Amino acid sequence: MQETNKRAFVKFAPNTDGFWPELKKEVDTYFKDNKISPFANLQMYLKSAIMIGLYFIPFFIILSGKFTQQPIIFYSLWVLIGLGMTGIGVAIMHDANHGAYSSNKRINKLMGGFLDLVGGYSLNWRIQHNVLHHTYTNIEGLDDDINVGAALRLSPHAPFKSMHRFQIIYAWFFYALMSLFWIVIKDYRLLFRYKKQDLLKKERISFWRAFWEITFFKAFYFFNILIVPIFIFNIPASMIFIGFLIMHLVCGLLLALIFQPAHVLGHMEFPLPDTDLKMEHNFAVHQLYNTCNFAPNNKFITWYVGGLNFQVEHHLFPFVCHVHYPKLSPIVKRVAEKYAIPYQQLPSLGDAIAGHANMLYQLGKGYAK
């Protein structure tokens, strides 16, 4: 059966255990009793301003030309832009493209559009992340976050190749190139694939309209980030290209270190549908078996990564703004324990990265289920 048809017929078990209805009721009660909105609050608006500033202010300083004779400062500004681009991705556009930033769809579209301004394409992202990753988390062949190409083996069900023995070494280099590869090549590859899989229809957009939108946004991005500094502000091309590369290496590696340790770990289930294309667990329980939190007590990490260290809460309540996840965590944990469902959590980011590195090593040795 072709992958498109398989995805259409894969079914999760029904919600007969009581876990999801009770959890949803408790979370709804939390917001109602505390008289707060599940969307963004003042803290979120302030963070948004900081992340946007972290991206654009260093770039404007670069355009001033004041630090072209001071390479350390010049390239440090590009590092800051990379930090800002990561922050925009995980703390602004991520919530907005989930519909979690605001109850107003226009505001979500506006804030989600920041991805288009920094070289990505929000429609592709919504399909890969919202539809394929969130629905089919850690299911080989269906979750696009673990189907990253032949060079990396991120699932015990993925084909094993001899080069994977060294992925524990080279994976980090591929991770660092992730955002650069995405804006240059991957968006076009995804668009052609999503057309073939009929996924564009659900977004109510034609292939050619999406194609020209991608092309326009990328031309706009490269014009502003490369052409303007070199040809209008006369900054040496070599310095701009090196800074541009530094920015994307910072962003790509940070994004990988935020997302991969939340799912690609040795204690994840990585389930497959049975011969009738039915999953063992219902959707909510499936998320708990294949998602892991990290560094729950580190307030800075929680702030910077857009609450994505509370990945369990995010997968269960993607339409809730991430600023609320720390308060939802005890509720989810308590209800999960009541139903004997694992609530997976690691104490620090270092533990999460180490766990992911170990999984890369094990998968590189041929580990399979």
Is a pLDDT exceeding 60 seen at residue 2? no
CB-count burial class (<10 Å; 0-12, 13-18, 19+) for 231: exposed
pLDDT value of position 6: 65
Q: What is the pLDDT of residues 307-353, one digit of tens each?
A: 999 999 999 999 999 999 999 999 999 999 999 999 999 999 999 99
Q: Which of 331, 241, 314 is nearest to 90 (CA)?
A: 314
The residue extents of the domains of the chain are 3-364
Q: How confident is the model at residue 8 (pLDDT cuts 50, 70, 90)?
A: low
Q: How confident is the model at residue 203 (pLDDT cuts 50, 70, 90)?
A: confident
User: Which residue shows structure tokens 């992202």?
Assistant: 125
User: Which residue shows structure tokens 């968006």?
Assistant: 187
Alpha-helix residue ranges (DSSP H) falling in the chain: 3-9, 19-33, 42-63, 71-88, 94-97, 105-112, 114-117, 122-125, 134-135, 167-176, 178-181, 187-196, 207-222, 237-259, 283-289, 299-304, 311-316, 325-338, 349-364
pLDDT averaged over the chain? 95
Under DSSP, is residue 369 helix (H, G, I), strand (E, B) or coil? coil
- Say which residues have a Cβ less than 8 Å from residue 107's Cβ, sequence separation at least 6: 96, 101
Q: Residue 294 gets which letter from DSSP? A: E
Judge contact between 245 and 77, C-beta under 8 A: no
Judge contact between 273 and 8, C-beta under 8 A: no
pLDDT above 90 as % of the chain: 93
